[in-house]
Structure 1
Amino acid sequence: MKIRYNFVKKEDVRYCKAESTVKEAYELLKESGYRSIPVLKDNGTVFAGLIYKVDLLDYYVEKQGKDEDSIQSLIVDKDAFVYEEDSFFKTFLTIRRLPFLAVLNEKDEFSGIITHGNIMDVLEDSFGMKTGGYILTVGTKEHKGAIKELVSAIKDVNIEGLLTLDNGDTYLRRIIVNLSHDISEKKLHKIIKKLEEKDFRVTAVDDVNKSDKVLIK
């Protein structure tokens, strides 16, 4: 999956100009309600880094900074960016300690930002939250071909999504399976029984369309 399909476009992003003063940057952050926003230079085309509200406050209090001072010394995380054509997986390796990442196009121009919320949207999609369905949490002893066996056991129903947890664990693995909501609860229980006959353990079943409804055999 490419990043270009899942990020906030530039026109919807609040940003600060690199030539802004400390007061201008602080007022913009206070108005936006964000703890950090991107800083752009060259008429808003080039990503320069991030500016944090806490750093501006620290500059005022600890360093007796003046309103008219430049923000240049307060711009940080200048490498906090990815490209539109990068794989979405790359964000998981980069964004953890940051509030967001800048997204650049093939010309190195600022295109927008990717946030933790964007990542959650992708994860929700993998759980089938947009299409609805039954979410099965399936436990299995770690062995070669476990996923293939699971899929084969339920090949007569539509699988909307599949996610594995505990990867690398020597003994156990959890597999999250999203099944289409067009099956009946009776059919669902038959599927659970079939899985458990194959030595899979269904530990939880959730109805996506009814968040308060949990179905357990």
Structure 2
Amino acid sequence: MLVKNIMLAKEKLITVSPKITIGQALEIMSENKFLSLPVVEGDKFYGAISKDRIYEFYYEKCEDKQCFLSDFNVEVVMRKDIPTISPVEEMEKAVYFLEIMNISFVAVINDKGYFEGILTHHAVFEQFTLLFGLNKGQRLAVMAYDVPGQISKLSNVLSENNADIISFVVVDPKSVIDVMEIVVRMRTDNFELIEEKVKDLGFKII
């Protein structure tokens, strides 16, 4: 899935300028119940400002709270190493950044260098929920040897028995050699019959 299909567009975001004070940024975050915000001016993305970053900076650099809130601008404290990704790249690249960099979002930048939006943990989790068809239909999970034709065999059983497939996901357990897990969600009146036919084909239901 492409990033542009699940990102939050800049028009729907609350952002802050790098030139506003830390106090103003904190007020905006508190009013909107955000822990972090993109730092943007016009079409240019600068980084991210977060409450934990602000608190860390304050305890390290400043003794006077009021001085800190009014005299320091966002650009002094913001995190500048936020990774960026193109709107036409695959979602998996953004997931990798979110996982290893301890960040709230990945910035989406087009080929002209313009800020288009962000991709968040929530957007990714929502897509995985849809992908797995959570709480929809009936769930069939099987273990299968990772050899050619297994997916075709399984899908044929489902179609031959009038199963309406909601999602079909293949997972690599990594800990097991030459074995894959297949998770299917479907709508069917023949679930027990399908289970028996799947077992007859050598699949292990889990």
Number of residue pairs matched? 196
Helix, strand or coil at the partner of 2:112:
coil
Aligned to 1:173: 180
One-letter amino acid matched to 2:182: I
Aligned to 2:157: 153
Within a 5 Å distance, the mapping from 1:21-170 to structure 2 comes to: 21-41=21-41, 44-64=42-62, 66-67=68-69, 68-96=71-99, 97-129=102-134, 132-156=136-160, 157-168=163-174, 169-170=176-177
Q: What percentage of aligned pairs have identical amino acids?
A: 22
Helix, strand or coil at the partner of 1:106:
coil
Contact 1:138 1:200 in 2 (8 A): yes
State the Cα RMSD in Å: 2.1
Question: Which of the two has greater helix per residue?
Answer: 2
Task: Compare 46-55 and 63-72 and name the one that shifted more.
Answer: 63-72
Contact 1:48 1:78 in 2 (8 A): no
Per the normalisation by structure 2, the TM-score is 0.85
Distance in 1, Cα, partners of 2:97 & 2:169: 21
* Residue deviations 1:116-155 (CA, integer Å, cap 9, x gap): 111122112212249x322211122343433233223323
1:191 aligns with 2:194: yes
Aligned to 1:206: none
Contact 1:10 1:110 in 2 (8 A): yes
Distance change >3 Å, CA 77–CA 159, structure 1 → 2: farther
Per the normalisation by structure 1, the TM-score is 0.81
Aligned to 2:9: 9
Shift of 1:106: 3.3
Distance change >3 Å, CA 15–CA 141, structure 1 → 2: same
Shift of 1:171: 4.6
* Residue deviations 1:1-23 (CA, integer Å, cap 9, x gap): 21111111212212111111121
One-letter amino acid matched to 2:184: V
One-letter amino acid matched to 2:74: I
> Runs of 5+ in structure 2 lacking a partner?
none
One-letter amino acid matched to 2:4: R
